[in-house]
């Protein structure tokens, strides 16, 4: 599985591509940051992010995109920019028919470090170790994007099984309701 991880942000949007499957060594395919100038118009910044992400999608052809779920922050301005960049990433993936997975920061930290309260240095160190890199990717947004991709690769099989189980349960419930309706109609017809 090849996953593009996106750590959304208006000034620095971290991107990282990881390939592999759960339970096997993973490989970093690429890592970087899409940057926009802080003094530019918001519309131009979002277009720049879109163009940068489109280049990553063209170059690396991921099978899915993992985006950090926008988490409530104290600074409304920051969370708005993060949400806007996140929406651009989801749009770019959806336009290509790629599945999009959203993971919270604590889910990513727990998957990569074992604790949802890990700091940026711990995440960077574990990404470096898991991908067998010489040094942690810089800036931290790039390491976070790789961590998102790793998290998704490791969590996707369990998530898919859970979704399949839910779908089967819904189907079984619908079939049971249909049988009850048929039995009720049959009883009414014999009266």
The annotated binding site for Mg(2+) is made up of: 7, 68, 141
Q: Could you tell me which residues are annotated as the binding site?
A: 7, 68, 141
Annotated active-site residue in 50, 61, 141, 144 = 141
Cα 102 from Cα 6, distance rounded (Å) = 10
Angle, helices 140-190/120-130, rounded to nearest 10 degrees: 80
Based on the residue annotation, tell me whether 58 is a catalytic residue of this protein: no
Calculate helix-pair angle for 140-190, 105-113, nearest 10 degrees: 110
Q: Which of 68, 119, 134, 144 is catalytic?
A: 68
Q: Which among 56, 49, 63, 71 has a CA at the least distance from the CA of 19?
A: 63
> Catalytic site residue 7?
yes
- 68 catalytic? Reply is yes
The catalytic residue positions are 7, 68, 141
């Amino acid at each position: 599985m090849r996953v593009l991880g996106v750590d959304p942000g208006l000034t620095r949007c971290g991107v990282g591509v990881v390939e592999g499957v759960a339970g096997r060594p993973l490989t970093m395919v690429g890592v970087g940051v899409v940057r926009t100038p802080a003094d530019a118009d918001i519309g131009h910044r979002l277009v720049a992010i879109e163009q940068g992400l489109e280049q990553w999608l063209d170059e690396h052809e991921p099978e899915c995109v993992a985006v950090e779920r926008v988490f409530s922050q104290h600074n409304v301005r920051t969370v708005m920019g993060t949400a806007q960049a996140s929406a651009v990433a989801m749009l770019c993936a959806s336009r290509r028919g790629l599945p999009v997975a959203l993971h919270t920061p604590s889910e990513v930290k727990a998957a990569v470090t074992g604790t949802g309260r890990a700091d940026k240095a711990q995440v960077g160190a574990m990404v470096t170790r898991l991908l067998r890199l010489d040094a942690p990717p810089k800036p931290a947004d790039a390491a976070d994007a790789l961590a998102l991709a790793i998290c998704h690769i490791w969590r996707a099989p369990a998530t898919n099984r859970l979704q399949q189980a839910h779908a089967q349960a819904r189907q079984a419930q619908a079939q049971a309701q249909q049988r009850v309706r048929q039995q009720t109609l049959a009883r009414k017809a014999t009266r």
